[in-house]
Structure 1
Amino acid sequence: MEEPTLRALLRRPDLRLRLVSEERRLRDGALDRPLRWVHSSDLADPTPFLADELALLTTGTQFADGDAAGAAAYVGRLQERGVVGLGFGSEVHRTGVPPELIEACEAAGMPLFEVPYETPFIAVARAHSEAIAAQAYARRTWALDAQRALAIAALRPRGLFATLAELARRLERWVGMFDAAGVLVHEHPQGGLAPEDAAALASRAADLLARGGQAGQSLTLGTASYTLFTLGRGGHLRGVIAIATASLDAEARAVVTSVIAMAGLALEQNEQLARSRRRLRSQVLASLMLDDPTLARRVLGSFPHAPMLVAIADADAPLEAVEEFWERHRSDGATGVFTAESDDGFVMCVAEEDGALFDEISARFGIRIGVSEPEHYARFSHAHAQAAAALRRGRSGVVRFADTVSDSILTAFATDEARLIAESRLAPLRAHPDLEQSLRVWLEHDARIEQAASALGIHRHTLRARIVQASGLLGRDLSSFPARAELWAALQTVR
């Protein structure tokens, strides 16, 4: 239905209104601005009694003949007050429209129209009020139809996304939803955003989610405007809905509010289901740790095929965001994946060829991940132990167990407790750096005096004396292999 504007009022054939101003000289959109009311007054300055966005009707008794300055001042006051247009009732006190009023309106870019003698001012006001009432009725009818359509959409498979698509059709605007990680998971119509706009909206959605409070926000990207609404309760937000519009009228906002409520409820229900699934997967994980995949295949049906990789994410990882990442890969059917929470961290299992996804997760969420070597399900517990060991060894990013086995086995024993013991054992040598260095070089040369002395640049008798002195300080007989092996382990640990 046509909006109640001045242009719509001028098109009413029963009123026989005539636009006097040349449209090309009017301000941009002057005829299409919202028109809230029509008022009449012959006061020289009616502005104290006027509101914004109305059309004023006058018979011109306040104008003196040929008073161009007075007409210009009058129009200037109306323009400053926010009057949309001026209607002049001809043949009441004057024949035609005064030329000085025409010039003043054209100079100000204000629409001036003639109201013929046969058309009462009250008829113009009544016609516009009827247009407002008709528009209000049409918008209420639209809102009721939209609510019914949205309720039906919610009952379809993937009801949340069907509801958002229906909202986009009803608003005739692009609508998108970002998940709790700020990732665009649904849009209608598909591909309706430029990549740079999608990235900017995702960044703003992530900001809203990070604040944690329920909020709405508007922003402009180039020539396009968007309104964003958070989903979920404060402190536990589930996502953001974005609509390609700068503003919504009351009816559209009511429809959007109902969609937000439905979406929030759907996401809460999904969360309850997700908690149930997490409990089930934890029980399946316990079965897999017995190296028996029978229960897992019966319960879950599809499963990553062997050889598979087991990975464990850091306990500080954003589990919901990581789980949503895997859910998207489950839904597209391209990746078989099993995930479960455990005391060691977030456990993930995929086929060997999908191992690169761990690098993508680590880079996206900035988390540590330990990854096992490829194994069959009969050795699942072994793979799990490898992933846990790799996670303990890694400081950042993805650490694969295959990379850690290339290190000395002694480094695997270099725990904080082992370092404390080693430092205590070697404490008597710390006051004699030359003794510690001599012992290290001697052991590196398989306890051969001649080669070690040559490497140190000292006489072999000097080296023998240092070894005897070190043996006395340490209280250990270094002539035996076990004593030398323990000393070598201590030196490597403190290093």
Structure 2
Amino acid sequence: MSQPAPSAPTLRALLSRADLGLRLAPGERPSAAIEQPIRWVHSSDLADPTPFLAEEMVILTTGTQFSGDEREQYEEYVRRLAHRGVVALGFGTEVARAGIPEALAQACEEHAVPLFEVPYRTPFIAVARAVAEAIAAAAYARRTWALSAQRAVALAALRRDGLGSAVSELSRQLGVWTGLFDSAGALVRASGALEGEIADRVQSECEVMLARGASAAGVVRVAERSVTLQTLGPGGSLRGVLAVATEGLDEEARSVVTAVVAMTGFALEQNEALARARGTLRAGVVRALLTGDTVLASEIADATWGGFPADPVVVGLTSAAPDALAAFLELRAGREQGSFFFGPDASGGIALVQSAAAPLALDDLAERFDVAIGLSEPTALASFAPALEEARIARDRGAGVVRFGDVASAGVLSTLSPDAASVARTVLLPIATHDETHGTAILDTLRVWLLHDARFDDAARALGVHRHTVRTRVRLAERLLDRDLQSFAARAEIWVALLAAR
């Protein structure tokens, strides 16, 4: 049920009051003008009352301001009223003169100002009171509707999908387009299509508001259309944006929107405890998977989130994640039950289990929430623990989305951490110091010698020196390093140090 049209009094409604006895002037034909709403009724016999008038008013006069029947005075009088936006003119007959002056009727016809007769027995105050009562009745009806609409939205919020149901009911009550954007700026619920430039502008503005992270409201206007935006949730932990097309909404309709925003914010605050409980339960499922108890983990997932995706799965792990990412994943998991699972990891990131056949689009997720995401090779859910370690190694290799298969193809040495470089430089420091102090090239000679599988002749040819020179330099390197480079293990360690230091 959409909002009822405003039932403000009109000239037609006023003329239909039999107790007032009002009637259109002789020769006056009903037109669309008599359907205009009336804001108020004012009586005046001033020659020019327009400085004291507002738009959508009805003027009542007895005509004492007119002298004679000169047409010009009537024409000028009505012209001013029409320019001021007066809805209609009521002429009280049998007070200053009998009947309605013909010149006045002609002027009203020319300027499309409806003219009606107020009989002598009907006091002007009765007409004003009738309009005042109608305005009060219309206002009461709108307030009653607003309370009814707020009640309907509140009941909708008690359904399983409370927030989405409330937004849908809001659209039904107002009869306008409404949309709900999640914490990532994606449109997750809408009462219909919002097309063209206005749709693009609304999407862009929602993303900007969410990126700022502060509670805010805004209006997007394109041509004759306008959409009001209001963030949901507390600043620093926004849960989404409510969008409502606002053209044609009066004060009562806007109060319903305000009530929905307030109710939604309160509901989100109340749901914080529930969200923490869900997070704790998800963390427990992750721990069960790590210990190999897939039966317990699957029972909980089946009863709560629609289960895990079928094997083979890909395990993911994010870097330290903001609360908004968990909120976004929770919303998505609610819509796509069983398609993926997520839960907090002890490292502060979020562990993901997704189908290898239908993986999530994680590149946009990593960019939107500024997190690194590592992905394991496809595996069975029972192998969650080693797959999570693969995801951890891939995640620590760089920004964005990194797959363990790509890391493995780069070789074992590519997995060396930044700490390895520091250790390597410390190990090689005696040689580097000797070269800098004495102008020697022991370090370069050692690198070339190891590169040629510790063969002195080959290294000498590569360096362009005598093989005894290479041998002497290697012996000096052994003394500086305090290592015997005749063993493979020692040479391998120094070779890794040389690679890491670079």
Alpha-carbon distance between aligned partners in 1 of 2:440 and 2:225, rounded to the nearest angstrom: 71
The 3-state SS of whatever aligns with 1:278 is helix
Aligned to 1:55: 58
Describe the superposition over 1:108-139 as per-residue Cα deviations: whole angstroms up to 9, x where unpaired.
Answer: xx652222253744454334223313312322
Aligned to 1:494: 501
The 3-state SS of whatever aligns with 1:218 is strand
Alpha-carbon distance between aligned partners in 2 of 1:102 and 1:69, rounded to the nearest angstrom: 12
Question: Which of 452, 456, 466 pairs up with 1:449?
Answer: 456
Deviates more, 1:10-19 or 1:268-277: 10-19
CA contact (8 A) 1:60 1:94 kept: no
CA contact (8 A) 1:217 1:229 kept: yes
Aligned to 2:183: 180
* 1:385 CA drift (Å): 1.5
* 1:140 CA drift (Å): 2.9
- TM-score between the two structures when normalised by the length of structure 1: 0.83
Is 1:288 matched up with 2:289?
Answer: yes
Aligned to 1:467: 474
Describe the superposition over 1:213-264 as per-residue Cα deviations: whole angstroms up to 9, x where unpaired.
Answer: 5544333233322223333345544333222123643432333333333333
Aligned to 1:229: 230
* 1:375 CA drift (Å): 2.6
CA contact (8 A) 1:175 1:243 kept: yes
CA contact (8 A) 1:19 1:111 kept: no
Describe the superposition over 1:9-68 as per-residue Cα deviations: whole angstroms up to 9, x where unpaired.
Answer: 5764753235999999xxxx9877653201011113434543454232334433455474
CA contact (8 A) 2:292 2:382 kept: yes
CA separation of 1:486 and 1:63: change in aligned 2, threshold 3 A? same
Describe the superposition over 1:336-366 as per-residue Cα deviations: whole angstroms up to 9, x where unpaired.
Answer: 4243343341111123223343334224434
CA separation of 1:70 and 1:163: change in aligned 2, threshold 3 A? same
Is 1:304 matched up with 2:309?
Answer: yes
The 3-state SS of whatever aligns with 1:354 is coil
The 3-state SS of whatever aligns with 1:227 is strand
Opposite residue 159 of structure 1, the aligned amino acid is: G
How do 1:318-329 residues align onto structure 2 when only pairs under 5 Å count? 318-325=322-329, 327-329=331-333
CA separation of 1:451 and 1:33: change in aligned 2, threshold 3 A? farther
Deviates more, 1:281-290 or 1:132-141: 132-141
Aligned to 2:146: 143
The 3-state SS of whatever aligns with 1:342 is coil
Is 1:41 matched up with 2:41?
Answer: no
Aligned to 2:394: 390
Aligned to 2:273: 272
Is 1:257 matched up with 2:258?
Answer: yes
Alpha-carbon distance between aligned partners in 2 of 1:274 and 1:338, rounded to the nearest angstrom: 13
CA contact (8 A) 1:21 1:102 kept: no
Question: Which of 3, 9, 13 pairs up with 2:7?
Answer: 3
CA contact (8 A) 1:229 1:241 kept: yes
Describe the superposition over 1:158-183 as per-residue Cα deviations: whole angstroms up to 9, x where unpaired.
Answer: 23333322222221112222223332
CA contact (8 A) 1:71 1:101 kept: no
Deviates more, 1:203-212 or 1:70-79: 70-79
CA contact (8 A) 2:23 2:118 kept: no
Alpha-carbon distance between aligned partners in 1 of 2:466 and 2:349, rounded to the nearest angstrom: 56
CA separation of 1:308 and 1:268: change in aligned 2, threshold 3 A? same
Opposite residue 4 of structure 1, the aligned amino acid is: A
Is 1:16 matched up with 2:42?
Answer: no
The 3-state SS of whatever aligns with 1:393 is coil
CA contact (8 A) 2:288 2:296 kept: yes
CA RMSD of aligned residues (A): 3.6
How do 1:13-412 residues align onto structure 2 when only pairs under 5 Å count? 14=18, 15-17=22-24, 34-63=37-66, 66=70, 68=72, 72=76, 75-76=79-80, 79=83, 83-89=86-92, 92-93=96-97, 96=100, 99=103, 111-116=112-117, 118=119, 120=122, 121-188=124-191, 191-194=192-195, 196-234=197-235, 236-246=237-247, 248-301=249-302, 302-315=307-320, 317-325=321-329, 327-333=331-337, 335-394=339-398, 396-412=399-415
CA contact (8 A) 2:108 2:114 kept: no
Opposite residue 313 of structure 1, the aligned amino acid is: T
Alpha-carbon distance between aligned partners in 2 of 1:150 and 1:478, rounded to the nearest angstrom: 80
Alpha-carbon distance between aligned partners in 2 of 1:233 and 1:463, rounded to the nearest angstrom: 70
* 1:453 CA drift (Å): 3.2
* 1:74 CA drift (Å): 8.0
Alpha-carbon distance between aligned partners in 2 of 1:469 and 1:55, rounded to the nearest angstrom: 111
Any unmatched runs of 5+ in structure 2?
none
Aligned identity (percent) is: 44
* 1:443 CA drift (Å): 1.5
The 3-state SS of whatever aligns with 2:361 is helix
Deviates more, 1:381-390 or 1:428-437: 428-437
